[in-house]
Structure 1
Amino acid sequence: MAELAKIDQRLERVRQSDRNDFRDGSPTYDSASIAVVRLAGILERSESARAREVLTEEESRGLQTIRKIISHGGNADMNDEVFWSTVTTYLPGLVRRLRDAVTDESR
């Protein structure tokens, strides 16, 4: 839960930033990259089985694809418009759903 909160904070920093400043090497781009890598890492853990259940197959594949681009392909392969949209529009809701699932599981 604490790691999801940190990811959410990073995503919030990106959402509050100027789109024109979002480019490879900028602090917000780096925050977005770290958020994606850590989120994918959390979901790979065996103790995250319940959290993974809230994701669709498409969401899981999309997250893994963007993580692989960041981790292995280099950001030169990244479409910055899609990345911006993903981390400012899509991922915050996904993280919220994961946090809700973790909270429900701990009850």
Structure 2
Amino acid sequence: MAQENFLDSIDAIDAFILHATSGGRGDLTRNSPAYASGSMAVIRAAALFEVDGFADFLAGTPDDVVRALRTMRNIASHSGYRAMDDEFLWVSLTVELPPYVARWRRATQVGESDSTAP
């Protein structure tokens, strides 16, 4: 059940990233639907680390990545968009976060196949 819930969360994060970035950097403007989706991707990614049952899938994620996600989540959730660095959010959504999302997804497949690659 934890794996299914984790994969549902990963699917949601992927969908939010896609919606936030598919229109290009110009569409990621404050108060836009793309911006809201990008913020939700960060919020959902940070929330993964709050579920004990997900720990095995997240193992090996660097502490600085976890701290960065929590900080961005707190800014998006509590300070509002005016406090968010828009360019940093864009880079997070297009460069930094996608490889971790892919890595976390692959972590659910360990033991289901012969692959043990990170």
TM-score normalised to the size of structure 1? 0.90
Q: Deviations over 1:40-78 (max 9, x none)?
A: 112210101112313101111111110111111221111
SS of aligned partner of 2:43:
helix
Question: Which residue does 2:3 correspond to in 1?
Answer: none
RMSD: 1.3
More helix by share: 1
1:95-106 mapped onto 2 (5 Å cutoff)? 95-104=101-110
Indicate if the aligned counterparts of 1:54 and 1:98 stay in contact, CA closer than 8 A.
no
Note if contact 2:46-2:70 (Cα within 8 Å) is conserved in structure 1.
yes
Task: Please report how far the alpha carbon of residue 17 of structure 1 lies from its aligned counterpart in structure 2 after TM superposition.
Answer: 1.3
Partner residue in 2 for 1:58:
64
Determine the C-alpha separation between the residues in 1 that align with 2:81 and 2:20. Answer: 17
**Larger gyration radius, structure 1 or structure 2:** 2
> Which blocks of at least 5 consecutive residues in structure 2 are unaligned?
1-6, 113-118
Aligned residues: 106
Q: Aligned residues: percent identity?
A: 32
Deviation for aligned residue 1:39: 1.4
In 2, the alpha carbon distance for the partners of 1:51 and 1:39 equals 12
Specify the alignment match of 1:67 in structure 2.
73
Alpha-carbon separation, structure 2, partners of 1:54 and 1:29 = 29
Aligned AA (2:81): N
Other structure's SS at 1:71 match:
helix
